[in-house]
Structure 1
Amino acid sequence: MKHTIYILLLLITCASCTKQPKLDGLDLEKFKNDFGGCKGERLKMVDKLKSLKEEIKGVSSNDLDDYLGKPDIQQLADRSQEYYIYFLEPGSHCEDVKKKSNAQMMAVRFSAMGMATEVNFQRGMPEE
């Protein structure tokens, strides 16, 4: 019984230790306040975001919410994985959120454990 408690405490401790990304040079408040990229502020940050791609990998979905804000679209993928979609430029989604948009976006794929495994810059929704 004692060993079980120690193992549980160890697992909880490990789970709470997530990677804290160094997003230096990125104006996180401007990013968060430009929902959907509709104000054009995120478009100015594309090069910086691309340079931080490796920093974003390994970050938990909860932490990414804290840094970049809620995603513009949250898409479920196969095997309990998901994508966070952040539009980086204005598009048809700015007029009607239900419209399919071909605007430039950053798609972050999360594993079933909630850790970022891929960061892609693309147009159109990710393939599942």
Structure 2
Amino acid sequence: MKKINSLLYLSVIVLAVACGSPESMKDFDSTTWKADKNACKGDRAKLAPEFEKIRKDMVGKKEYIVRNVLGKPDKEELLERSQRIYYYYLESGEQCQNTSTLSEASRLEVRINSLGKVSEVNYNQPQKLKKPE
């Protein structure tokens, strides 16, 4: 019985550690990002330079890591062969009044392949964003 409890305890610890964010993304203010749904408060625009530092690290990560770091996407597009694109707005725009359509506001696009891994992380209208120094 003691072995079963030990195995169960160890399994829970391994699972908890595995579901967390990778070390390279620990410095990103995920809480503020998630709280600014559709970027209507303007907090995501301020976090864009901070996000740029971890953007390339997201490629190859599993979908659950994206959701842990960035939260539920503002919009999602299902493509053929079970691929998806997650959209995260970076500035306020039409999406703050009408959430049913995809706005032309600057946004982050995270492409997830059929294996559930991030294959691309791009910006739509990146000229509006400040690059980190």
Work out whether the TM-score is over 0.5. Answer: yes
Contact kept, 8 Å, 2:75 with 2:102, in 1: the verdict is: no
Residue in 1 that maps onto 2:104: 102
Residue in 2 that maps onto 1:34: 36
Residue in 2 that maps onto 1:80: 82
Cα distance change on mapping 1:77 and 1:21 into 2, 3 Å: farther
Q: 1:51 Cα shift?
A: 2.4
| TM-score normalised by structure 2 residue count | 0.73
Alpha-carbon displacement from aligned partner over 1:78-116 (angstroms, at most 9, x marks no partner): 221101110011010001102441111000001101000
Task: Tell me the matched-pair count.
Answer: 107
Q: Give the ranges of 4+ consecutive aligned residues of structure 1 lying more than 3 Å apart after TM superposition.
A: none
Q: Partners in 1 of 2:73 and 2:63 — Cα distance? A: 10
Q: Structure 1 vs Structure 2: percent identity of aligned residues?
A: 30
Unaligned runs of 5+ in 1: 1-16, 124-128
Q: Partners in 1 of 2:122 and 2:30 — Cα distance? A: 19
Residue in 1 that maps onto 2:63: 61
| TM-score normalised by structure 1 residue count | 0.76
Q: Partners in 2 of 1:21 and 1:119 — Cα distance? A: 19
Q: Partners in 2 of 1:100 and 1:64 — Cα distance? A: 20
**What is the root-mean-square deviation of aligned Cα atoms in Å?**
1.9
Question: Which structure is higher in helix share?
Answer: 2
Q: 1:22 Cα shift?
A: 1.4
Find the residue that maps to 2:42 and give its secondary structure.
coil
Contact kept, 8 Å, 2:76 with 2:87, in 1: the verdict is: yes
Of 29-38 and 51-60, deviating more is 51-60
Q: 1:76 Cα shift?
A: 0.8
Contact kept, 8 Å, 1:21 with 1:55, in 2: the verdict is: no
Q: 1:50 Cα shift?
A: 1.9
Find the residue that maps to 2:107 and give its secondary structure.
strand
Unaligned runs of 5+ in 2: 1-17, 126-133
1:71 aligns with 2:73: yes
